[in-house]
Amino acid sequence: MKIPELALADTNHIPQIGLGLWQVKDQAEFNTAFTAALKAGYRHFDTAQAYNNEYMLGSAWQASGKQRDELFITTKIDVRHFRPNKVRSSFAESLKNLQTDYVNLLLLHFPVTILRKKAWKTLEEIQASGSARSIGVSNYMIHHLEGLAKYAKITPAVNQVELHVFLQQPELVKYCQERHITIEAYSPLAHARSMDNPVVNKIAEKHHKTYAQVMLRWLTQQGMVVLPKSVTPKRIEENIAIFDFTLDDEDLTLLAKQDRNLRTCWSPVHVP
């Protein structure tokens, strides 16, 4: 299966679906998920220093027989490592763990007050060195992005945030889209916190798709990247099989009304 790619503002491209690797702690479980993902067509893998599994991804892709340029690898700088010297040293360790000399995308994991300005400038230097093809942020709200715009030489290519049918954040989406910042939706299935919505169920039945596939397709049709997390081969296959149907205007109108500001992860809303 050929997965659609989106053009980033820096002219690089990103596969529109990736495998989220948060909370995958066991190497055997990791390998099973990674192998199933490759077989299903995934080439985009999203990890982070805080996930403590970069080394698992490094081992898995090296054993896979894939060439490095066939894969899109993202990692994120841990909030404990935002001082410039720690950004550099921790990223060097990430590259070692990932068994590569570059990542496709490097993000600041959270808008850490005071430290995020220098951390961003360090990411700009890392990108200039070629060790990160693209750079971006995660969990940044509009006020964080407005602050960043005052000192950034490079606009983030990506803002990775929690986003799903039940947490739509329309103002943030509009802000990013107007500035050509691609949104990556993490927890796009809301951690299964709301899998009984009658509207989503009805739309799934209409298209002969699953509940999860409707939630993911809703995001991709808006030009976002989705990062569903699973270690179950069947679910991994199901989650990527979303590009062979289209939600119509009626579906989109109904889904837009399901927003209820449901946050299932850490919230950056009140971080100054």
Q: What is the pLDDT of residues 17-27, one digit of tens each?
A: 999 999 888 99
Residue 242's nearest CA partner among 61, 72, 42, 45 is 42
Q: Would you state the pLDDT for residue 23? A: 86
* Number of domains, the chain: 1
Rounded Cα distance between 127 and 154, Å, is 10
Helix, strand or coil for residue 161? Answer: strand
Domain membership of residue 149 (yes or no) is yes
| Beta-strand relationship, 132-138 and 5-7 | unpaired
Report the share of the chain in percent with pLDDT over 90: 94
Residue 83: give its domain's CATH number: 3.20.20.100
Question: Which listed residue (42, 51, 140, 211) is catalytic?
Answer: 51
42 catalytically annotated:
no
Instruction: List the domain range (segments joined by +) for residue 70.
Output: 5-193+219-232
Domain membership of residue 260 (yes or no) is no
Q: Would you state the pLDDT for residue 236? A: 97
Which residue ranges in the chain fall short of pLDDT 50?
none
Domain membership of residue 75 (yes or no) is yes
Domain membership of residue 225 (yes or no) is yes
Q: Would you state the pLDDT for residue 44? A: 98
**141 contacts 114 by C-beta, under 8 angstroms:** no
Half-sphere exposure at residue 269, Cβ-oriented, CA atoms within 13 angstroms: 10
Residues whose CB is less than 8 angstroms from the CB of residue 69 and which lie 6 or more positions away in sequence, other chains included: none
Q: Would you state the pLDDT for residue 1? A: 67
Domain membership of residue 13 (yes or no) is yes
Domain membership of residue 79 (yes or no) is yes
- The reported pTM is 0.97
pLDDT tens digit sequence for 230-259: 999 999 999 999 999 999 999 999 999 999
Q: Would you state the pLDDT for residue 2? A: 83
Terminal Cα-to-Cα distance of the chain (whole angstroms): 43
Domain membership of residue 25 (yes or no) is yes
Q: Would you state the pLDDT for residue 205? A: 98
Q: Would you state the pLDDT for residue 183? A: 98
Rounded Cα distance between 121 and 249, Å, is 42
Domain membership of residue 251 (yes or no) is no
Q: What single letter denotes the amino acid at residue 271? A: V
